[in-house]
Structure 1
Amino acid sequence: MLFRINTLQKATYILATSKPWHKPMLAKYLTNESQFLWANDPEQLNDLVSKEKNIRYIFFLHWNWLVPEILWKKIECVCFHMTDVPYGRGGSPLQNLIVRGHKETKLSALRMVQEMDAGPVYTKRPLPLEGTAQEIYLRAGKLSFEIIQWMIDNHPEPVPQQGEPVIFKRRRPEQSELPETGDIGTLYDHIRMLDAPTYPLAFIEYGEFIVEFSDADVQGDELSASVRIRKKQNQGEI
C-alpha cells in the first residue's frame, strides 16, 4: 500500500541523484522548485524520508545504490532508464545501446518495484544518442525534469511493460580499453560513450601508465582526441 500525502498540505518531492550536473537544472526546468529536496547519497535520502511527512514522489535520476523495499513500498519512487523497456533493462544502458549501434532510444520513467527496471511505465520520451556521454546525460537530465514537471501536473498512473525483456549487463572497467580492431567509427563511438565526469574514460595501457582519451572528433578517415596520461590505478564500474 503506497503512502498517500495529506492533500491539505503542500506536497514535497525528493530528487535523489549521485551526479552533479542535475542540480543546475532545477530552477531552469521546474516551476515549483521550492518544494524539492535533494539527496546525494543513501544517508541523506534516509534522513529526508524520516523527517518529511508529506512526500508525493521520490525521483531517482542516476542513482548508484539499491533502493530498499521498505522505501518504494511506502512512497511512490520513480526512476529514469535510458532504454525503451522492456528492451535494455539492466546496467550501463547508454554504453550498451551505442555498442549495439543504436542512434536513438527512449527515456522511460518507471515506478520502482523489486525487479530492476521492471516496473510499470509512466511515460517514454525520444532521446537521441549523438554526442559524448556527458552531452547525452545532460540531454537526458533535461528530459527527466520535463517528465517530472509533467508528472507533478498530471499524476499519471503507470502501465505494465509489454513484451519480452532484453537484459543488459553492467560493463566492467576493463571493457573501457580501446578495441584493437574495427574502424574509425568504432573507435569514435567507444571514446564518446565513456566521455563524462565520474566515468572511466576510454584507455590503453602503456607500461606502468594508463593513456586516457576524450573529446573525440572524426574528420574524414582520421580521429583526433584529447589525451591524459596517469599511473595505473583501479577504475570503477560504469
Structure 2
Amino acid sequence: MNRFIVLSEKKWHEEVFFNLKKEFSEAKWIHICKKEDFNYENLLSINPVKIFIPHWSYIIPSEIYDNFDCIVFHMTDLPYGRGGSPLQNLIVRGHKSTKISALKVQKGIDTGDIYIKDDLSLIGTAQDIFKRSSDVVYVMIEKIIKNNIIPIPQVGEVVEFKRRKPEESNLEFLESLENVFDYIRMLDADGYPNAFLETEFLKFEFFNAELDNKQKSIEAHVRISKK
C-alpha cells in the first residue's frame, strides 16, 4: 500500500488531507502538523511515497529531503518570488493574481525543480486567499499523483523576497486608501499579526476591512490594547 504524508501546521489544510484520503482511499494517508512528529526516524517507519507540504514554517533537514520525495507549494510563479512572506510581498507589489508552484524540496530556498503550477487569485483577505489556495493545492496534488508528473528545472529570472517582519505592518506612513486596505487584508488571517497603528500608550489592530471607493473611505474592525 502506498503511503502519502500531508505536512502543514495550518488548520485550513485539514480539509485538503481529508479530501485526498477520500479520493485516494486505496492509499494510506498521514497528516503531520507538529514539528516534533516530522523527523527522520518517524518518516523511516512510515516510508511515504511522497510528502506533500502545503505550508511549513520550519527548515526541512537535508537527511529528509535527500531520502524522501518532498513537494512544497509556494505562492509565486517561481523563480519569481523565492523566499518568505510570498502573499504579503505579492500584494505590496500590486499583484492581483499569482501562481502556486509545486516544487521539489532541495538545497537552497525555493530553488527546486517544478512539478506543476496553477493559477491563484489574490482578491480578498489573507484568510480568503489561503482557503482558495487550499482548493488549488488539492487539485495539484491530484494531478501529480494521477499523472506521475516528473519535475523540471526552474526557468526565468530569479527574484527573491525577504520575509516580512511584524513592524513592517505599521500603517503610519501609508498615504493612499488602497495601500491601507491592502495592508489590512493581506494580514487578516489566523496566526498572522494584524496591520496596526500605535500611540504612546495604545496599539490599534485592524481587520475585516472594506474599501468604499465612492465614499473614499475604509470601514474596518479594530482591536485596541495597551502596549
When the two structures are superposed, what TM-score results if normalisation uses the length of structure 2? 0.93
Q: Deviations over 1:2-61 (max 9, x none)?
A: xxxxxxxx11111110111110233345502562101112211226413213x1111111
Name the residue aligned to 1:3: none
The equivalences for 1:1-238 within 5 A come to 10-28=1-19, 31-32=23-24, 35-46=28-39, 48-53=42-47, 55-219=48-212, 220=214, 221-232=216-227
| 2-structure distance, mates of 1:69, 1:27 | 28
Matched-pair contact (CA < 8 Å) for 2:206–2:222: yes
The root-mean-square deviation of aligned C-alpha atoms, in Å, is 1.4
Q: Which amino acid aligns with 1:140?
A: S
Matched-pair contact (CA < 8 Å) for 1:29–1:146: no
Matched-pair contact (CA < 8 Å) for 2:196–2:205: yes
| 1-structure distance, mates of 2:200, 2:54 | 38
**Secondary structure at the residue paired with 2:36?**
helix
User: Where in structure 1 are there 5+ consecutive unaligned residues?
Assistant: 1-9, 233-238
- Kindly state the Cα deviation for residue 185 of structure 1 after the two structures are TM-superposed: 0.8
- Kindly state the Cα deviation for residue 205 of structure 1 after the two structures are TM-superposed: 1.0
Which shifted more, 29-38 or 162-171? 29-38
When the two structures are superposed, what TM-score results if normalisation uses the length of structure 1? 0.89
Q: Percent identity?
A: 41
Matched-pair contact (CA < 8 Å) for 2:17–2:31: no
**Secondary structure at the residue paired with 2:55?**
coil
Matched-pair contact (CA < 8 Å) for 1:179–1:187: no
Residues paired across the two proteins, number: 222
User: Where in structure 2 are there 5+ consecutive unaligned residues?
Assistant: none
